[in-house]
Amino acid sequence: MPENRPVFILVRPQMGENIGAAARAMWNFGLRDLRLVAPRDGWPNRAADDTSSGALDEMGEVRVFSTLAEAAADVQFSFAVTARPRDIAKPVFTPNGAIADITTRAGQKTGFVLGPERTGLENDEVALCHAILTIPANPAFPALNLAQSVLLIAWEIFKSNDATAAIEARHEPAKLADFEAMFARLEGLLKDGGFFKTDIQKPTMIRNLRAMLMRGEWSEQEIRTFQGILSALTGKNKV
């Protein structure tokens, strides 16, 4: 199955720091086609190298263009990423909707277009894109940092490409018999120590004790560790 590998185009980015952070975010999620339109401080850019943490060295050449029309010349479907509503008749997607959309475009060149930090894309630039992507956020504070927007979209793309299930590293719980042997010893030691005040309360206390100690799903090794704890606390070895 072909994977989603869209292009990211940063239009008139101001801060090299943000370009580098955007590159790092892309490469964190296996995306490498970064294009710049008229970066304010030129290119290459020392601050971008720093914040990219090596991504710019690894991901391949960043191409620089004078206009968005040139940068997007080979793109077949693009999203203008913008927080502000635009008075322009384009479909508006959320990130999940946009990723669902490009997933249906196997073999097509797709792209995400982001404007300058302070002002965002101009209307004529939005007009060059096929759709609008708006990231839903806190209505009182909706404007994401440029590189944060890139990260969020790259993450959603990565997840859509990722067929592997969640990482599972749960350990192996011991068999009940191992637990029971330990618990029987504990019960005897607690009886000797006067833990059970009355015979009437004892069955309930035992059930509650069992619940709290079983909940950790201890491994065989951990049950041995607890046996060691019992020996150390009482000065009596396991029989």
For residues 137-176, which are near its own copies according to CB under 8 A? 137-138, 140-145, 147-148, 151-152, 155, 158-159, 162, 164, 166-171
Binding status of residue 179 toward its own copies by CB under 8 A: no
- The sign of the dihedral angle between the CA atoms of 97, 99, 103, 104 is positive
Tell me how far, at minimum, the Cβ of 71 lies from its own copies, in Å: 24
Q: Which is nearer to its own copies, 40 or 70 (CB)?
A: 40
Q: Which is nearer to its own copies, 8 or 226 (CB)?
A: 226
Nearest 5°: CA angle at 46, between 43 and 47? Answer: 105
A 10 A CB-CB count for 7 gives 21
**Could you give the string, one character per residue 30-69, with x where binding to its own copies holds by CB under 8 A and - elsewhere?**
x--------------------x-xxx--x-----------
Number of residues located near its own copies, criterion CB under 8 A: 72
- Segment 116 to 135, residues that bind its own copies, using CB under 8 A: 134
Binding status of residue 107 toward its own copies by CB under 8 A: no
Which has the closest alpha carbon to 11: 150, 134, 116?
A: 116
Task: Give me the count of residues in the chain.
Answer: 239
What is the Cα–Cα distance from 23 to 150, expressed in whole angstroms? 9
Tell me how far, at minimum, the Cβ of 108 lies from its own copies, in Å: 16
What is the Cα–Cα distance from 176 to 140, expressed in whole angstroms? 54
A 10 A CB-CB count for 188 gives 13
Which of 127, 181, 206, 213 contacts its own copies by CB under 8 A? Answer: 213
Tell me how far, at minimum, the Cβ of 43 lies from its own copies, in Å: 21
Task: Please compute, for residue 171, the number of CA atoms within 13 A of its CA located in the half-sphere on the CB side.
Answer: 10
Tell me how far, at minimum, the Cβ of 48 lies from its own copies, in Å: 13
What is the Cα–Cα distance from 136 to 116, expressed in whole angstroms? 19
Binding status of residue 185 toward its own copies by CB under 8 A: no
